[in-house]
A and B are shown apart, each in its own frame.
Chain A
Amino acid sequence: KNQVEQSPQSLIILEGKNCTLQCNYTVSPFSNLRWYKQDTGRGPVSLTIMTFSENTKSNGRYTATLDADTKQSSLHITASQLSDSASYICVVTPRNTDKLIFGTGTRLQVFP
């Protein structure tokens, strides 16, 4: 069964610190892996998209990595800001389909 699991479920860090969120998936083969940020009460917004052949993608302070051999991805946030407080969702698209497989998300809280 295609699954996407994320860890930790929740995370609290202090402003200015770095953190790394993990995503493990069983979807195979897949077209791409995305990381979304979802602020409370908002829809998800795309941070990065990586095809199966890419192993890193950056978007400002956000850097995503992908290891297709171990079926793992991570999202690293550098120098966290209060506005980074949100849920971060890992999403995998199986090949030859439009349907996305969503992870359960990591809820990040950044405190001053």
Chain B
Amino acid sequence: SAVISQKPSRDICQRGTSLTIQCQVDSQVTMMFWYRQQPGQSLTLIATANQGSEATYESGFVIDKFPISRPNLTFSTLTVSNMSPEDSSIYLCSVDPRTARDEQFFGPGTRLTVL
């Protein structure tokens, strides 16, 4: 299994500001993903974080709003830029270690509230 940590675990921010969320994995993984979970909703994929290249964004998500870095195989950051109250969500990092079990592991999430 993969152990994933995220920082911060929660934050309250003012609109118009930006927040960078960190994701650290205890082993090298090829596939790393960022998800958003809005209140009462299921998870929505924001982007796939690619090591050494630009992230691949899903429809409805753009790099200017959610810039992502992936400097190595154990670490990634997601920035939520120019925040508005609609960005209040849980943001989760996920990895797929590509084992035979084909399992995807999730971090504990970052709970963001934008005032």
Tell me how far the C-beta of B68 lies from the nearest C-beta in chain A, rounded to whole angstroms.
Answer: 16
Query: Chain B contacts of A36 at CB under 8 A?
Result: 106
Question: Assuming the A-B contacts A98-B31, A98-B48, A98-B96, are A46 and B41 also in contact, with contact meaning beta carbons closer than 8 angstroms in the complex?
Answer: no
Residues of chain B at interface, number, CB under 8 A? 21
Does B67 have its Cβ within 8 Å of any Cβ on chain A? no
B111 contacts A32, C-beta separation under 8 Å: no
A49 contacts B103, C-beta separation under 8 Å: yes
Question: Assuming the A-B contacts A41-B111, A98-B48, are A46 and B105 also in contact, with contact meaning beta carbons closer than 8 angstroms in the complex?
Answer: yes
B106 contacts A99, C-beta separation under 8 Å: no
Tell me how far the C-beta of B73 lies from the nearest C-beta in chain A, rounded to whole angstroms.
Answer: 16
Does A109 have its Cβ within 8 Å of any Cβ on chain B? no
B45 contacts A99, C-beta separation under 8 Å: yes
The chain B residues found within 8 Å of chain A, CB to CB, are: 4, 31, 41-45, 48, 92, 94, 96, 101-109, 111
The chain A residues found within 8 Å of chain B, CB to CB, are: 31-32, 34, 36, 41-46, 49, 89, 93, 98-100, 102-105
